[in-house]
């Protein structure tokens, strides 16, 4: 996305409102009073480009608009730690004052240190390795991945028994990004959630995790899930993702399954996932509150740069979303989508 500038904060009355409107904030917004510091350049560097972070972008951009900062997004659609490091280095070289990014691999530590040495305020959001973050005196703003996994595994076992009537069978988990800190925590938590359900309910569901490329090209992931369906056949009672279950649904549709014939779900809850729940193809998702994650990350960067507070750890999300919950999640999704379109983010 291109860099989006706004007029310097510090104006009063109608002039300030006009400045916010030029940035993309609603015309009804009131100018914030107080000394918010000099205008800064805030850059969000996702570990991989895609539309997964749209709500997060809206949150970052809206906070930037409140304090007179510019906003830019840099990234590479093909994930690798090397590509991610390169983009962080590009943000540093491009004059970023604040960089919001993940620290999902120790390979990012050198880039973080490079940014700190250059005077950049570094903020960890979405995912981060706790020990690496502590080394920099930083917190992590994002979901508790292990807890999200427990919810995921518990729902998988619950719906596996409810939909199939079976007390044993295989629950397959697709790992979309092996080695990534958040995704590995989601996998480990999912395993524990299934084990806990087995102990509490006298079931004997087994767990089969594998790399399913769900964050990559759709066709490749569908083919991998097709192979799992052919392998386990009637033994398969649930199919779960670690962030994108759309390829799972597609694979079962192509096999002639009907909605609700097998348990399907995953952490995260993008619009397509919500529709799949509404249509009965999935039974659950989890909202990790990307909008709030972005807003908190940007405000944390401001607090560190302007008020010298070290970055806090804030756990967002953990909200289980089932069909009956869509009435609450849908309207706020519509709202950030509308904002994203008005800001040119989507």
Lowest mean pLDDT among 25-29, 61-65, 143-147, 240-244: 25-29
Q: Are residues 250 and 168 in the same domain?
A: yes
Same domain, 162 and 212: yes
**pLDDT > 90: percent of the chain:** 85
Mean pLDDT over residues 18-28, rounded?
Answer: 38
Q: What's the pLDDT at 12?
A: 32
Looking at residue 230, what is its pLDDT? 97
CB neighbour list of residue 14: distance below 8 Å, 6 or more residues apart: none
- Where is the domain boundary, 246, 264, 281? 281
pTM over 0.85: yes
Task: State yes or no: pLDDT of 165 exceeds 90.
Answer: yes
Identify whether residues 307 and 186 lie together within a single domain: no
Same domain, 134 and 149: no
Summarize pLDDT for 80-123 with one digit per residue, the tens.
999 999 999 999 999 999 999 999 999 999 999 999 999 999 99
Q: What angle do CA 204, 209, 213 make, to 5 degrees?
A: 150
From CA 99, how far away is CA 89, in angstroms rounded? 10
> Using an 8 Å Cβ cutoff, are 260 and 285 in contact?
no
Among 230, 253, 281, residue at a domain's last position: 281
- Which of the pair, 270 or 13, is modelled with greater confidence? 270
Length of the chain: 346
Residues 6+ apart with CB under 8 A from 20: 6, 26, 29, 31, 65, 66
Confidence of residue 243 (pLDDT cuts 50, 70, 90): very high
| 254: in domain | yes
Residues 152 and 272 in one domain: yes
In a domain, 2, yes or no: no
CA angle 317, 319, 322 (to 5 degrees): 145
Kindly state whether residues 262 and 149 are assigned to the same domain: yes
160-165 average pLDDT score: 98
> To the nearest whole number, what is the mean pLDDT of the chain?
91
**Quick one: average pLDDT of 300-318?**
94
Q: Using alpha carbons, list the distances in angstroms from residue 51 to 62, 87, 307, 340.
A: 18, 17, 33, 11
Final residue of a domain: which of 281, 304, 332?
Answer: 281
- At residue 29, the pLDDT reads 37
Identify the pLDDT of residue 32. 58
Q: Are residues 172 and 273 in the same domain?
A: yes
Q: What percent of the chain has pLDDT over 70?
A: 90
Q: What are phi and psi of 345, to 5 degrees?
A: -80, -30
Nearest to 315 by CA among 175, 61, 130: 130
Residue-range definition of the domain harbouring residue 276: 145-281
Q: What is the pLDDT of residues 124-142, one digit of tens each?
A: 999 999 999 999 999 999 9
What per-residue confidence (pLDDT) applies to 180?
86
Place of tokens 């973050």: 133
Domain count for the chain, please give it: 2
Cα 210 from Cα 216, distance rounded (Å): 15
Residues 218 and 123 in one domain: no
Q: What is the CATH number of the domain that holds 187?
A: 3.40.50.2300
Label the pairing between strands 285-287 and 319-321: antiparallel
Tokens standing for residue 197? 């359900």
Q: Which residues contact 290 (CB under 8 A, 6 or more apart)?
A: 53, 54, 55, 56, 59, 316
């Amino acid at each position: 996305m291109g860099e989006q500038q706004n007029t310097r904060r510090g104006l009063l009355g109608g002039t300030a409102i006009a400045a916010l409107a030029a940035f993309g904030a609603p015309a009804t917004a009131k100018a914030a009073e107080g000394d918010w510091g000099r205008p800064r350049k805030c850059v969000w560097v996702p570990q991989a480009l895609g539309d997964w972070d749209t709500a997060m972008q809206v949150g970052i951009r809206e906070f930037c608009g409140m304090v007179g900062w510019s906003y830019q997004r840099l990234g590479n659609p093909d994930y690798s730690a090397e590509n991610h490091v390169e983009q962080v280095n590009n943000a540093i070289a491009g004059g970023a004052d604040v960089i919001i990014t993940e620290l999902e691999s120790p390979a990012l530590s050198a880039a973080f240190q490079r940014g700190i040495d250059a005077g950049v305020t570094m903020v960890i959001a979405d995912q981060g390795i706790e020990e690496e973050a502590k080394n920099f005196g930083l917190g992590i703003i994002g979901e508790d991945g292990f807890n999200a996994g427990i919810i995921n595994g518990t729902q998988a076992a619950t719906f596996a028994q409810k939909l199939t009537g079976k007390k044993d069978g295989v629950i397959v988990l697709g790992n979309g990004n092996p080695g990534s800190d958040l995704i590995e925590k989601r996998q480990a938590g999912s395993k524990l959630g299934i084990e806990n359900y087995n102990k509490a309910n006298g079931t004997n569901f087994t767990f089969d995790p594998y790399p399913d490329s769900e964050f990559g090209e759709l066709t490749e992931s569908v083919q991998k899930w097709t192979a799992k369906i052919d392998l386990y056949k009637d033994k398969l009672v649930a199919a779960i993702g670690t962030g994108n279950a759309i390829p799972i649904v597609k694979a079962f549709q192509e096999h002639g399954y009907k909605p609700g014939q097998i348990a399907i779900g995953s952490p995260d809850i993008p619009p397509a996932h919500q529709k799949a729940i509404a249509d009965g193809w999935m039974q659950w998702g989890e909202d990790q509150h990307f909008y709030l994650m972005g807003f908190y990350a940007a405000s944390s960067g401001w607090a560190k740069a302007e008020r010298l507070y070290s970055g806090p750890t804030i756990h967002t999300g953990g909200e289980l979303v089932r069909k009956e919950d869509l009435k609450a999640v849908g309207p706020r999704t519509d709202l950030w989508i509308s904002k994203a379109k008005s800001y040119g983010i989507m």
